[in-house]
């Protein structure tokens, strides 16, 4: 800074001081509050009697205490500081502060002498908690109180509490210093040694309002408007419980500490980077938040003393201001680079610290949300000027840590550097976080600082949050013991069942019923036809069939012939069907003649339903040997380029899936399994073979009725369905049908394809005694990979994903493919025999999504799902959403890029972006239905309309 600028700044400070002193001359009776006081007054009006803004302080006095000198010192401090004699009134709807005479505040003594040690300790905890929880009355006052607990003649505990509206952390230090000086003087019979105060807090409040306006205010606000432009208003920190509609401020604290060696290394790093320890520790806090939220753009609050004028340093009052510091962690910077970013942000904030936080919130017109604090939800505090030790003649004093039950923000990290080491505490909202979660956050921060001290040049994504033991535990959390199964190709498993129950009904579609024996015979005949036509192993046969028993005949026949069936929804647009037929290079298409002619295959490759009826076809199984690693089917999922991608599933994968379920949740010939899913989705394969491998009956809905809730409920009641597989959105509407009350046979409901909420679990329990299971997976892992047994009344919003099903495993990994701590979000990776071979003729995409398993034996793979999840305190896994541009609409995987690509084909559309938004479909209880919303940018150039 130049000499001219330094001189200007010094003159500005002197002018501010003169203005403060001049305001002492004519003080009106009704005084305006400061901006900070005005906000606390408003919050108190919202929640009268709240104790959330008390500032408690406790100290143990060991030695000979002169109570009269202590009491006189206290009264002198109250008389000396107008803020401690202030109350707050409402005048025409606005707050004013009224300074009154010093109230009589006699020292209240609670005598605990004579109690044994255990009872004394209990009573001290009880009385301290009562004092901390006692509210203040802003209108009547007083806004300071004190109490003395007598333990013995030589042991006392002093409890002091002030409301934040007249005090702050700095003020505690002022109070302590003045108490020491006054007690020493009064003990000797001397007068007060303290010089008169030249200004009072009310002078500061008036000066703040007079000075902070016009160009001065605009210059400061302009900085913050630019600094916070388009900043996120909510921190996406995963919570352990649903957020209450309004903040409760209930909370507690837990301690944390950093070794002297790590503290010293962090101090050295700070000096090397031209930063303060505050900036380095703040950068580490931002890294922790980014790893737990996956947000690169973060806003964190930090307090600043706001006593940059000498006259205010000795006042008790609410001076502290809060700065919303914004940091950008994009690009995965090295930690040292992040410190540089934080340094620039902090210095900019410090240079514009005069705008009260309340004024800033009003200027930015932040949308009020009673469930969250505005602008930021976490605080970072470094108390680098801790309280000086309190010394009174004849007494040894020890500060006591108080257990509070409040949290002003979701998380507040406070650190203090004492005796060469960092100590502190993490304050957390107990309505949002469990103690175990807060403990893990604190330990993760400590581990993060250790990693930074060891190698500050690492990229922030590579900084460790887990030690070796924690890493190993995270890897083993979702890797259950193997389940001994004897997989065989899917059609072989069916053949075995057909021999066991040949005359049982295998499948029905309205009045069309097939026994196991007849289904086997028809499938064998069609398989021989395919072999005679030249079908080679793993060649694809596209199935574009309307709903009928012919679908099952075709699936089994293709597998028996060694091919891979490609199920398609015959009701899909012809253009999409043609695209999938071409993409999978289908050797044959089985479809009605009217549809087959529109598909890109030669006439000799077209087969019609009922082709098995041709004369001379054998009814016995073909002799072709099919191995477990051969393809069973190829199912198409949405593709980001507009071209669906074919997922190749082997017999080993689907057999493991189906055999495990029969092992874990056995069914038998008496069961009826509903078949409702579209044939274009792999859920239909599960529905068919769930029944056929157990001797049960597959009950198909009629063609065109798979979304008709009234018909589905009626069919289930008429046919005595015992098990149904359904997406949550369809289950929700089916439960509203009157005929659901007649579905007495229903024993099992399996939900998948969408996030399942606990309100739907409860709703099913109101209608049925059936057990509800939540299954999670993707087409690429043979339909499902995890399962969870639901129970009514679960104290969470979303149903967990559960544990891996037989022989599958699951990891939750960060962007570097390393395990995340419990509670931190990461991408779900799945492994095991259910993994698909890959995407048909897409080696690039297969390599991207099917990656080597760094934690498994050589040659093993993991599938990157793109789903985000985190481990809950109870060990379960919670689904958090997608990490890419894919969504699920009523159970259907939709790549938004595919929708965008299709829309861009329209000549009138220049460009488009498609978003997924939830729309309420039921008011009570609220139910949300995801919808796609296309957004087209405005045309270039002037609008054709005025």
The confidence score (pLDDT) of residue 50 equals 81
Token code pair at residue 834: 């259910």
Q: Which residues are paired to 300 by β-bridges? A: 325
Q: Per-residue pLDDT averaged across 593-607, rounded?
A: 95
H/E element, 153 = none
The confidence score (pLDDT) of residue 944 equals 34
Domain region containing 358: 258-310+317-368+426-464
The confidence score (pLDDT) of residue 924 equals 43
The confidence score (pLDDT) of residue 472 equals 93
709 in any annotated domain: yes
> What is the three-class DSSP state of 3?
helix
The confidence score (pLDDT) of residue 26 equals 45
Of residues 914 and 630, more confidence is placed in: 630
* Whether pLDDT at 337 is above 80: yes
Give the Cα separation of 550 and 569 in Å (integer): 14
CB 399 within 8 A of CB 432: no
Q: What is the CATH number of the domain that holds 610?
A: 3.40.50.12780
* Whether pLDDT at 351 is above 60: yes
* Whether pLDDT at 549 is above 90: yes
> What integer best gives the mean pLDDT of the chain?
90
pLDDT-based confidence at 941, cuts 50/70/90?
very low
Q: Per-residue pLDDT averaged across 343-368, rounded?
A: 93
Least confident of 8-22, 141-155, 202-216: 8-22
Do 184 and 265 reside in the same domain of the chain? no
Q: Per-residue pLDDT averaged across 785-800, rounded?
A: 92
Q: What is the CATH number of the domain that holds 356?
A: 3.30.559.30
Q: What's this model's pTM, rounded to 2 decimal places?
A: 0.83
389 in any annotated domain: no
163 in any annotated domain: yes
The confidence score (pLDDT) of residue 368 equals 80
% pLDDT > 90, the chain: 78
pLDDT-based confidence at 885, cuts 50/70/90?
low
Least confident of 24-28, 230-234, 553-557: 24-28
The confidence score (pLDDT) of residue 903 equals 62
Least confident of 143-147, 303-307, 397-401, 730-734: 397-401
CB 358 within 8 A of CB 36: yes
Q: Could you give phi then psi for residue 414, rounded to 5 degrees? A: -120, 130
- What letter does residue 743 receive in the DSSP assignment? -
**What pLDDT digit, counting tens, does each position of 237-248 carry?**
989 888 999 998
Beta strands in 777-891 (DSSP E): 786-789, 803-804, 809-813, 826-831, 838-839, 850-852, 861-871, 877-882, 886-889
**What pLDDT digit, counting tens, does each position of 509-538 carry?**
999 999 999 999 999 999 999 999 999 999
* Whether pLDDT at 494 is above 60: yes
Q: Per-residue pLDDT averaged across 107-131, rounded?
A: 93
Do 331 and 452 reside in the same domain of the chain? yes
User: In terms of Cα–Cα distance, which of 828, 833, 788, 794 is closest to 812?
Assistant: 828
- Domain count within the chain: 3
CB 831 within 8 A of CB 854: no
Do 441 and 517 reside in the same domain of the chain? no
- Give the dihedral of Cα atoms 286, 289, 295, 301; nearest 10 deg: -60
The confidence score (pLDDT) of residue 389 equals 67
pLDDT-based confidence at 338, cuts 50/70/90?
very high
Give the Cα separation of 590 and 552 in Å (integer): 12
The confidence score (pLDDT) of residue 241 equals 86
Q: Per-residue pLDDT averaged across 855-881, rounded?
A: 93
Length of the chain: 946
Instruction: Among 829, 864, 899, identify where a domain stops.
Output: 864
Do 323 and 434 reside in the same domain of the chain? yes
Instruction: Among 864, 890, 923, identify where a domain stops.
Output: 864
**What pLDDT digit, counting tens, does each position of 805-863 carry?**
999 999 999 999 999 999 999 999 999 999 999 999 999 999 999 999 999 999 999 99
pLDDT-based confidence at 939, cuts 50/70/90?
very low
943 in any annotated domain: no
CB 728 within 8 A of CB 575: no
CB 484 within 8 A of CB 659: no
Do 147 and 263 reside in the same domain of the chain? no
Q: Per-residue pLDDT averaged across 109-127, rounded?
A: 93
* Whether pLDDT at 397 is above 50: yes
Do 507 and 459 reside in the same domain of the chain? no
Beta strands in 316-373 (DSSP E): 321-328
Q: Which residue has the tokens 């210059």?
A: 219
Q: Could you give phi then psi for residue 334, rounded to 5 degrees? A: -65, 155
**Radius of gyration of the chain from Cα atoms?**
36
The confidence score (pLDDT) of residue 58 equals 94
> What is the three-class DSSP state of 71?
helix
* Whether pLDDT at 385 is above 70: no
Q: Which residue has the tokens 């920190």?
A: 237
Do 459 and 535 reside in the same domain of the chain? no
10 in any annotated domain: no
Do 495 and 361 reside in the same domain of the chain? no
Q: Which residues, 6+ apart, have CB-to-CB distance to 303 below 8 Å?
A: 169, 320, 321, 322, 323, 379, 381
Q: Per-residue pLDDT averaged across 684-698, rounded?
A: 98
> What is the three-class DSSP state of 318?
coil
Do 355 and 499 reside in the same domain of the chain? no
Do 356 and 494 reside in the same domain of the chain? no
> What is the three-class DSSP state of 585?
coil
Give the Cα separation of 358 and 364 in Å (integer): 10
> What is the three-class DSSP state of 506?
strand
The confidence score (pLDDT) of residue 402 equals 83
- Strand order, beta sheet including 631-637: 606-607, 588-590, 540-545, 564-569, 631-637, 645-650, 838-839
The confidence score (pLDDT) of residue 906 equals 63
Q: Which residues are paired to 929 by β-bridges? A: 919
Instruction: Among 813, 834, 864, identify where a domain stops.
Output: 864
Other beta carbons within 10 Å of 436:
14
Q: Per-residue pLDDT averaged across 216-224, rounded?
A: 94
Do 845 and 755 reside in the same domain of the chain? yes
107 in any annotated domain: yes
The confidence score (pLDDT) of residue 940 equals 38
User: In terms of Cα–Cα distance, which of 149, 207, 185 is closest to 25?
Assistant: 207
* Whether pLDDT at 128 is above 80: yes
Beta strands in 430-547 (DSSP E): 505-509, 512-515, 540-545
Q: Could you give phi then psi for residue 32, rounded to 5 degrees? A: -75, 145
The confidence score (pLDDT) of residue 118 equals 93
**What pLDDT digit, counting tens, does each position of 416-446 carry?**
998 899 999 999 999 999 999 999 999 999 9
Token code pair at residue 352: 């514009």
* Whether pLDDT at 12 is above 90: no
504 in any annotated domain: yes
Do 437 and 499 reside in the same domain of the chain? no
399 in any annotated domain: no
């Amino acid at each position: 800074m130049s000499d001219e600028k330094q001189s200007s700044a010094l003159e500005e400070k002197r002018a501010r001081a003169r203005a403060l002193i001049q305001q002492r001359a004519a003080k009106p009776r009704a005084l305006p509050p400061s901006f900070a006081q005005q906000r606390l007054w408003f919050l108190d009006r919202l929640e009268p009697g709240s104790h959330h803004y008390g500032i408690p302080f406790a100290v143990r006095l060991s030695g000979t205490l002169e109570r009269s000198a202590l009491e006189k010192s206290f009264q002198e401090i109250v008389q000396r500081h107008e803020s401690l004699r202030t109350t707050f009134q409402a005048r025409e709807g606005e707050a004013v502060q009224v300074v009154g005479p010093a109230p009589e505040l006699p020292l209240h003594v609670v005598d605990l002498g004579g109690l044994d040690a255990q009872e004394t300790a209990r009573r001290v905890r009880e009385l301290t908690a009562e004092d901390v929880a006692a509210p203040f009355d802003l209108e009547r006052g007083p806004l300071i109180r004190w109490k003395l607990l007598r333990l013995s003649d030589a042991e006392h505990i002093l409890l002091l509490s002030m409301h934040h509206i007249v005090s702050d952390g700095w003020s505690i230090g002022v109070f302590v210093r003045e108490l020491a000086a006054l007690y020493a003087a009064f003990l000797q019979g001397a007068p007060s040694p303290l010089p008169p105060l030249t200004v009072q807090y009310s002078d500061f409040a008036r000066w703040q309002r007079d000075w902070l306006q016009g160009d001065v205010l605009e210059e400061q606000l302009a900085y913050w408007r630019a600094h916070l432009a388009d900043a996120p208003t909510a921190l996406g920190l995963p919570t352990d419980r649903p957020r209450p509609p309004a903040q409760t401020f209930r909370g507690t604290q837990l301690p944390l500490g950093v070794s002297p060696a790590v503290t010293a290394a962090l101090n050295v790093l700070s000096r090397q980077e031209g930063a303060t320890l505050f900036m380095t520790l703040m950068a580490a806090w931002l890294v922790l938040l980014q790893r737990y939220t996956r947000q690169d753009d973060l806003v964190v609050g930090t307090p600043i003393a706001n006593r940059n004028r000498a006259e205010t340093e000795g006042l008790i009052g609410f001076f502290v201001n809060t700065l919303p510091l914004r940091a950008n962690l994009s690009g995965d910077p090295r930690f040292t680079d992040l410190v540089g970013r934080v340094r620039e942000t902090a210095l900019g904030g410090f240079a514009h610290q005069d705008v009260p936080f309340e004024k800033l919130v009003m200027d930015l017109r932040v949308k009020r949300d009673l469930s969250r604090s505005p602008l930021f939800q976490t605080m970072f505090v470094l108390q680098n000027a801790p309280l000086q030790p309190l010394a009174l003649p004849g007494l040894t004093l020890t500060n006591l840590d108080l257990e509070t039950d409040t949290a002003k923000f979701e998380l507040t990290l406070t650190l203090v550097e004492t005796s060469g080491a960092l100590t502190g505490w993490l304050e957390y909202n107990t309505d949002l976080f469990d103690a175990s979660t807060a403990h893990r956050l604190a330990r993760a921060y400590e581990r993060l600082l250790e990693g930074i001290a060891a190698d500050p040049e690492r990229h922030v994504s590579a900084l460790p949050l887990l030690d070796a033991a924690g890493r190993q535990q995270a890897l083993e959390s979702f890797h259950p013991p193997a389940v001994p199964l004897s997989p065989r190709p899917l059609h072989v498993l069916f053949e075995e069942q057909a021999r066991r129950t040949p005359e049982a009904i295998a499948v029905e579609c309205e009045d069309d019923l097939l026994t196991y024996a007849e289904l086997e015979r028809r499938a064998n005949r069609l398989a021989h036809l395919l072999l005679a036509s030249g079908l080679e192993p793993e060649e694809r046969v596209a199935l574009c069939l309307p709903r009928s028993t012919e679908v099952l005949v075709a699936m089994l026949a293709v597998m028996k012939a060694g091919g891979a069936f490609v199920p398609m929804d015959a009701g899909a647009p012809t253009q999409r069907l043609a695209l999938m037929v071409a993409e999978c290079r289908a050797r044959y298409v089985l479809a009605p003649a009217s549809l087959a002619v529109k598909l890109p295959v030669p006439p000799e490759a077209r087969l019609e339903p009922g082709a098995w009826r041709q004369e001379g076809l054998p009814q016995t199984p073909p002799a072709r040997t099919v191995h477990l690693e051969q393809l069973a089917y190829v199912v198409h999922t949405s593709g980001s380029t507009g071209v669906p991608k074919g997922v190749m599933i082997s017999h080993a994968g689907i057999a493991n899936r189906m055999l495990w379920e029969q092992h874990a949740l056995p069914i038998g010939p008496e069961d009826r399994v509903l078949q409702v899913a579209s044939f274009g989705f792999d859920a239909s394969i599960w529905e068919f073979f769930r029944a056929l491998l157990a001797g049960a009956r597959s009950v198909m809905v009629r063609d065109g009725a798979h979304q008709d809730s009234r018909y589905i409920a009626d069919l289930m009641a008429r046919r005595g369905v015992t098990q149904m597989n359904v997406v949550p959105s369809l289950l929700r509407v089916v439960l509203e049908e009157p005929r659901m009350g007649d579905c007495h046979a229903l024993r099992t409901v399996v939900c998948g394809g969408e996030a399942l909420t606990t309100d739907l679990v409860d709703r099913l329990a109101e209608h049925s005694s059936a057990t509800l299971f939540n299954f999670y997976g993707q087409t690429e892992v043979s339909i499902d990979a995890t399962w969870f047994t639901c129970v009514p009344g679960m104290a969470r919003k979303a149903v967990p994903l559960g544990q891996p099903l037989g022989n599958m495993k699951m990891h939750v990994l960060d962007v570097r493919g390393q395990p995340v701590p419990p509670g931190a979000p990461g991408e779900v990776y799945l492994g095991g025999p259910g993994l698909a071979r890959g995407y048909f003729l897409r080696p690039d995409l297969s390599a991207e999504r099917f990656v080597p398993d760094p934690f498994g034996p050589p040659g093993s793979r993991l599938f990157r799902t793109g789903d985000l999840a985190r481990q809950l305190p109870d060990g379960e896994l919670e689904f958090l959403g997608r990490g890419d541009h894919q969504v699920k609409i009523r159970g259907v995987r939709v790549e938004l890029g595919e929708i965008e690509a299709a829309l861009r084909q329209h000549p009138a559309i220049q460009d488009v972006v498609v978003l997924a938004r939830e729309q309420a479909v039921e008011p009570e209880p609220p139910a949300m239905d995801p919808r796609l919303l296309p957004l087209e940018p405005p045309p270039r150039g002037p609008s054709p309309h005025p």
